[in-house]
Structure 1
Amino acid sequence: MSRPSLFSQAGGIGVSVDRVTCDLQTCAMLELAGVDVTVSGLKILDGVSMKVPAGSITGLIGPNGAGKTTAFNVVSGFVRADSGMITFKGKSINHVKTHQLAKLGIARTLQAVGLFPTLTVLENVMLGATSRNKAGILSDALALPWVDKEQRVIREKSVEILRRFALDGVMDAMPGELPYPTQKKVALARALVSEPDLLLLDEPAGGVGAEEIRELSALLQQLTPECTVLLVEHHMELVMEVCDLIWVLDAGKIIASGTPAQIRSNQDVLAAYLGEAEVP
């Protein structure tokens, strides 16, 4: 399937590209192999193995308490795996620090928006680009000659992505002045401004309305194949609409994987969701 890409070489939405560039089960941008996590004697992840194919939108779903956010936290470095391997582009990231992820090309959003309340919308988004940029506190303090130029480039990129998100009218606003769905769009813009290779989205549709979910669906389908997406989401209609591959966690174990059509008819998945929202 061909879709317009947000990260096209032409510099904007409108260039048609193929969504998935490799086989769903073999060509992995991110891979977890036999990952175990135990907290206070409770096994949260139990031998979790899964792949996120390069150029795909991959979903990670499961009932409440299944371990989805813990899996994200292991990839992000917030939680250390007791055993197993996490690889990104074929290299281990088991011991990578959280602040190093951006330089590797990994960005993440949180269930809570995580915006800095004392910074404007534009400044918040600029931080997303700065995290993958070589300009830092020391360079700013030394007033190195390339810093001003890089900051101008970061500002231009941030303004451009805010325009694409129809947020240019609130660039100078403080996050607390904006409705919650708009804050979530700002958080997503901040994650995308660095043009990550892998984007981890934790409940991006949480707390937003039907119109915002439709906008989110359209946006996600414009990101690939340049940006690979791993999506944790309870909104099943969104997952089934945008994902190429879905992994299902239940009680810390992977119980199924496949295309949306395969997951809809999987009896183990249906059993895991009994008593919760039905898998559409």
Structure 2
Amino acid sequence: FGLSVREMAAQWAVLALLAACMASAAKESVLNMCMDAKHHKTEPGPEEALHGQCVLWKDNACCTANTSTEAHQDQSYLYNFNWNHCGVMPEKCKQHFIQDTCLYECSPNLGPWIDQADTSWRRERILNVPLCKEDCELWWEDCQDAITCKENWHKGWNWTSGTNRCPRGFMCQPFKYVFPRPADLCEKIWSNSYKYTMEHRGSGRCIQMWFDPANGNPNVAVAKYYAQNGRDASPTPRAVLLLLLPAALLLWRGWYDGIA
């Protein structure tokens, strides 16, 4: 195409520099984002009227006030999911599921673990979010005597009534038999949305479901750490595509000018 070796080397140098810049920008892009799911906002922002346990994210949230209110209902319109499918769930256990819902719906700090989803009601999900040891173990401790009939709550329910019911042949039994260890509960109940870790709250290496907003949101630093260093912190396909488009156009223009 008429390019000298020096010119071609310069082109490759520019390409390498752009690739490095794109990688850095991709890491930054996942630090403050909302997943593409059923009730999430397009972009995070302040929500002064968040309800109850979701108020932790009022300064920067991916959920609306209405979503936060519904997250506290035994059976809300969000997913028509009933916590009380095997009898009334104890209040101390329910608080953890409400907090789990608030984290999922409201947190803008889950970007490093956003993955593609293959369901009709959401295009993205979270996968293997490193949950702090205390959060997982307290969840299990407070729910061990609650009753359920299924290990994976994402799928396999009987929805003929419009809400989730136990499938035929599934027996209701205490959580401690369905989930013998804290890791079983945190990892299996939502199809590996969370990953049990030995990391502690305040370490900067695990996501906290519970925190004191007066001291700031500790998950901001956690997301930044994993975006920069974590094995599971690859940028999402959506973020990569958005970054690739302008870079590709720039490279094409430079190549075209070089041969014109």
- TM-score, normalization: structure 2? 0.29
More strand per residue: 1 or 2? 1
Give the structure with the higher percent helix: 2
Q: Which structure: larger Rg?
A: 2
